[in-house]
Amino acid sequence: MKFLLYLLLALVVVPLQTTMLHYVSVFGVRPDLGLIAACLVGFLGGELDGLILGLILGCFQDMLSAGDLWINVVTKGGSGFLAGLAGRHMAHITPSVMTAGLAIISCLSSAVFLYSMNPAGLDEVWLGVRSTVLVQAGLDAAVGAGLYLLFRQRWSDDRMVTEGAL
C-alpha cells in the first residue's frame, strides 16, 4: 500500500518538476522536488521509506533527464536513506533542523552531480558550487521547510499514533 502511495507521489512530483517548476526558478535554478520529497519522507517515515521513495523518484527523474541513468537513482535514494538515518537519531524535528538537514543533503547530492560532470578545473567546480549547488540547497531547504510547516500537525499526529501503536 505504501509502495503504491509512493509511486503515486512520484507520478505527481516528477512531471511537476519537469513542466511547471521553471516558474519558480531563481537564477535559472529550480528546487529539486524529488530530493525534497525523499528527504521529508525519510526524516519522518524512516530510512527504508526514504530509500524506496528516493529510488522511485530517481528512476523517474533519470528517464526525463539528459544525464546518466544511474545518477538520480543513487542521489535520491541516498538522500532519502540519509534523511531517514538522521531522523531516527532526533527526538524532535523542528523546522530549523529540517531546513539545515535538507540544505546539507542537497549539497551532498549536488556534489555527486558536480563530480559526474567532470569539471575541467577548480574554476568550473567553484562556478558550479556558486551558480547551482548553493542556490539549489537554499531553495530545497526553503521549500522543504515550508512543506514541513504546512503539514507538521498531520505528521506529528501520525507519529504519535504510530508511537502509541508501538
Binding site for another protein (CB under 8 A): 14-15, 17-19, 22, 28-30, 32, 34, 60-67, 72, 110, 113-114, 117, 124, 127-128, 131-132, 136
- Amino acid identity for residue 116 in this structure: S
CB closer to another protein out of 124 and 157? 124
In degrees and rounded to multiples of 5, residue 56 shows phi and psi of -65, -50
- Taking the C-alpha atoms of residue 15 and residue 29, their distance in angstroms, rounded to an integer, is 17
Tell me the closest approach of the beta carbon of residue 4 to another protein, in angstroms. Answer: 22
CB closer to another protein out of 113 and 155? 113
CB closer to another protein out of 86 and 135? 135
- Taking the C-alpha atoms of residue 33 and residue 161, their distance in angstroms, rounded to an integer, is 27
Tell me the closest approach of the beta carbon of residue 77 to another protein, in angstroms. Answer: 15
Q: Which residues have C-beta within 8 Å of that of residue 100, sequence separation ≥ 6? A: 141
Residue appearing with cell numbers 551532498:
108
